[in-house]
């Protein structure tokens, strides 16, 4: 998995926000099992709404620096629609769920020029997981956000 430069990640998530970042291969399917916790104790997700979505981004100036991958990220033109991601295996009491990564459903096609093996810049997506907790008693409603950043590259077989 790629190592991303901290300043590059801060472009997407800010300085103190959690982020899941990874480099994927075109048409790769994978998943992340996540545990939502506070002070090393699981957060009960009962009543919470969990959603996740990503959107295509324009990634340019990719460089492998001493401190990890650096690049610039901007809106993709023409503006695409957000793509919902699947949340499964939810166990509320344990604060766990699985984020499914099915790159084949994101709308990247094999002929995308950014998948060429010699492409200067690869396909990029950013997004978020949003965990919305309802108001309980005197505690107001609260949203927790985990940012997402994925680069998608050719495996050399496709393109």
| Number of other residues whose CB lies within 10 A of the CB of residue 30 | 12
Residue range 6-153 in CATH 2.60.40 = yes
pLDDT > 70: percent of the chain: 86
Q: Record the pTM.
A: 0.85
- Sorted by where each begins, the domain ranges of the chain are 6-153
| Type and span of the H or E element at 56 | strand 49-65
pLDDT (mean) for 136-146: 93
Distance, CA of 63 to CA of 7 (rounded, Å)? 13
- What are 101-110's pLDDT values in tens digits? 877 667 676 6
Looking at the predicted structure, is the pLDDT value of residue 159 above 60? Answer: no
Q: Which of 103, 107, 111 is nearest to 158 (CA)?
A: 111
């Amino acid at each position: 998995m790629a190592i991303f430069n901290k300043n590059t990640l801060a472009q997407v998530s800010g300085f103190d926000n959690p982020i899941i970042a990874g480099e994927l291969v075109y048409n790769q399917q994978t998943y992340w099992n996540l545990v939502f916790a506070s002070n090393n104790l699981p957060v009960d997700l009962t009543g919470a709404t969990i959603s996740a979505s990503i959107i295509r981004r324009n990634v340019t100036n990719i460089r492998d620096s001493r401190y990890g991958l650096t690049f610039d990220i901007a809106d993709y033109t023409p503006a695409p629609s957000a793509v919902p991601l699947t949340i499964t295996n939810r166990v509320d009491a344990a604060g766990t769920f699985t984020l499914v990564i099915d790159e084949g459903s994101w709308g990247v096609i094999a002929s995308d020029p950014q998948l060429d093996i010699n492409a200067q810049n690869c396909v990029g997506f950013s997004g978020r997981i949003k965990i919305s907790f309802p108001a309980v008693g005197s505690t107001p409603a609260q949203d927790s956000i985990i940012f997402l950043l994925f680069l998608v590259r050719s495996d050399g077989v496709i393109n």
